[in-house]
């Protein structure tokens, strides 16, 4: 199975292609799509789309994994991130590549065992797994982490033969038994 992981962004879009062969992870390629800072937003989105299409054509992935949306404090930044994410989803759809989405906490949990791990911890784990000593940008390591997360989820699902239940936060519901009489 070959997976293209994407860490979308309107200024820098990281990507990483990994393949799983007989339980071994193989790093095929990774990098960043960095549109010129002089480009307008539509031109940057076009450059990201074209860059991702080239990566898809070069690597012919079986699936794309991408970070799911999150709620940001800055609405303008969140909108731009959503637009870049939409362009990545479009590139996959036009190429006929199925897309799988993961929350950043799921990715961190799958790699480090902690959903609130920092970027450095995630990079260290990826470096150990793939033997890559240094990452040029965190966008690249994030994209590779998303690809590893999908491979882990997919292989676990194939082994168990069931859908993996993702943890969700639930509010505590109080009952009468919780209070003393």
Q: Which of the following is catalytic: 101, 139, 155, 177?
A: 139
As a three-state string, the secondary structure of the chain is CEEEEEECCCCCEEEEEEEEECCEEEEEEEEEECCCCCCCHHHHHHHHHHHHHHHHHHHCCCEEEEECCCCCCCHHHHHHHHHHHHHHHHHHHHHCCCEEEECHHHHHHHHHCCCCCCHHHHHHHHHHHHCCCCCCCHHHHHHHHHHHHHHHHHHHHHHHCCCCCCCCCCCCCCCHHHCCC
Is residue 142 part of the annotated active site? The answer reads no
Q: Which of the following is catalytic: 29, 67, 106, 134?
A: 67
Is residue 139 part of the annotated active site? The answer reads yes
Active-site residue list: 7, 67, 139
């Amino acid at each position: 199975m070959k997976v293209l992981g994407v860490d979308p962004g309107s200024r820098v879009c990281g990507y990483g292609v990994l393949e799983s062969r007989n339980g071994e992870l193989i790093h095929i390629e990774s990098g960043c799509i960095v549109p010129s800072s002089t480009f307008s937003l539509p031109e940057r989105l076009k450059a990201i789309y074209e860059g991702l299409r080239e990566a898809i054509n070069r690597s012919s992935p079986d699936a794309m994994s991408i970070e799911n949306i999150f709620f940001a404090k800055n609405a303008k930044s969140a909108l731009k991130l959503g637009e870049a994410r939409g362009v990545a989803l479009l590139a996959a759809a036009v190429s006929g590549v199925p897309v799988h989405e993961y929350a950043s906490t799921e990715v961190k949990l799958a790699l480090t065992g902690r959903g609130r791990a920092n970027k450095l911890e995630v990079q260290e784990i990826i470096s150990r797994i793939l033997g890559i000593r240094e990452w040029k940008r965190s966008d690249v390591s994030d994209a590779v982490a998303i690809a590893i997360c999908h491979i882990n989820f997919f292989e676990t699902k194939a082994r168990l033969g069931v859908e993996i239940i993702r943890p969700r936060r639930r509010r505590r519901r109080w009952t009468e038994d919780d209070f003393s009489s």
